[in-house]
Amino acid sequence: MSWRALAVGAAGAWVAYAWGAHLFTAQCVRRGDARAPRIALTFDDGPDPVWTPRVLDLLAARDVRASFFVVGERAARAPDVVRSIARAGHDVGSHGWSHKSLWLAGPRATAVEIGRTHAFLSDLLGREPRHFRPPWGMVNLAMFPLLRRLGLSCVLWSIQPEGLRPVGPLEQSRYVVGHAHAGAIVDLHDAEGTPRAPERLSAALPQMTDGLRDAGWELTTLGELLGHGPRDRGKWGASKGPRRPPRSGAPRGTRGAPRFCARPGSPT
């Protein structure tokens, strides 16, 4: 077989593995129940040791509960921030271990990205996470069976005020309030992916939450929006956590199966 044929075959296999997997993103949650006036604010890419506590203070000042998709290696560097998220009554979900695009991850690397974070958060908080958001909204074929084994739901979003392009605080707030709908899942960022994203978010958040409530929306967690009850190992934050981040990427089997639906939006 020629090198050209091998290259074409390899390229075709990658397209099927990465791009083809997006045919299955109907298995990913994008919104909740459209019959109730509820919206979930979600925060990606943290924890940031400076900005995440500021976001928590802003939410606490308005008695808002939300959901945070944390990056495993960042959580390992700031475990107390993750515990504070959980103790405040917010949901904690997984955003992978290193924020690596799953388009660039083979089956083994995918197991490390998802399995290692799942194990770390379970040990740290004494409760298994229920939700996983793929970095950049990018999936692969290895991801879906792994999520089923771990009892994780793939969660995307229906409203994203800022992606790769910086958007000012006022514009973000107006966009979210103007596009709000029943069951909306709003994708925000409490750590820096796009430069200075958490700074803009912190400036936008008070007006955003006030505007949503003034329009009649109830702000809630993903668990409540999607009807996903917790799987306890005790109380949130009760565990002292692991002595070190788990080394093995092998996922640990759990009971339960995720609920899925919808398609990804722009990358996060």
Active-site choice (44, 48, 91, 190): 44
Pairwise CA distance, residues 15 & 22, whole Å: 10
Active-site choice (48, 189, 190, 228): 189
Residue pair 46/67 in contact by the 8 Å Cβ criterion: no
Residue pair 140/102 in contact by the 8 Å Cβ criterion: yes
Catalytic residue check, 189: yes
Catalytic residue check, 44: yes
| Catalytic annotation, residues | 44, 189
